[in-house]
């Protein structure tokens, strides 16, 4: 009888701990000190998407001193960018057309150390340079190339 009385509160505690466990980014819930990520930051000239974007449309981008880790090729269309600053300095993110060096998209504001943001963008087919424009980060190697290819059937 004594073990049954212990099992119910223990089970309740385990269920509560599981519900309050780490989020998908690995940070404790509400404990990161950062505001929750927002959708639609600098999405595109057309504005944020109104349709739900699936998990297959998600692109993870990691910023660190002094590099950008992300896929080097993507299909064109709506994408959710999950951008995280893993470094100890502020970083930003800009997509420039390699053909003209003009800005195709930019993050609306810098990311502080440990901060993350989720944005919804429409990527057109083409060749991009993805860079951090903070201080001299690009010249220190904080850039990568991205090829966006036409979606099958598009």
pLDDT (tens digit, 9 = 90+) per residue, 34-83? 333 333 443 333 333 333 444 578 999 999 999 999 999 999 999 999 99
Which residue has better confidence, 41 or 30? 41
Half-sphere exposure of residue 61: CA atoms within 13 angstroms, side-chain side:
33
Dmax (CA) of the chain: 76
Strands of the 116-123 sheet, one edge to the other: 67-69, 58-64, 77-85, 116-123
pLDDT (tens digit, 9 = 90+) per residue, 112-154? 999 999 999 999 999 999 999 999 999 999 999 999 999 776 6
CB 142 within 8 Å of CB 131: yes
Read off the pTM. Answer: 0.64
CATH number of 34-149: 2.60.40.420
Domain boundaries, the chain: 34-149
Q: Is the pLDDT of residue 13 over 70?
A: no
The pLDDT > 90 percentage for the chain reads: 60
* CB atoms near residue 154 (< 10 Å): 9
d(CA 131, CA 139): 10
φ, ψ of residue 84 to 5 degrees: the values are: -130, 135
């Amino acid at each position: 009888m004594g073990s049954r009385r212990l099992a119910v509160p223990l089970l309740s505690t385990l269920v509560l701990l599981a519900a309050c466990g780490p989020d998908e980014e690995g940070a404790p819930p509400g404990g990161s000190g950062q505001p929750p990520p927002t959708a639609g930051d600098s999405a595109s000239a057309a504005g944020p998407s109104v349709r739900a974007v699936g998990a297959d449309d998600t692109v993870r981008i990691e910023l660190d001193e002094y590099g950008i880790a992300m896929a080097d090729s993507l299909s064109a269309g709506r994408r959710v960018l999950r951008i995280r600053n893993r470094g100890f300095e502020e970083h930003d993110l800009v997509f420039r057309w390699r053909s003209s060096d003009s800005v195709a998209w930019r993050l609306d504001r810098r990311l502080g150390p440990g901060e993350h943001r989720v944005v919804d963008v429409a990527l057109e087919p083409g060749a991009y340079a993805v860079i951090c424009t903070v201080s001299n980060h690009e010249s220190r190697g904080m850039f990568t190339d991205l090829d966006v290819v036409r979606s099958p059937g598009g």
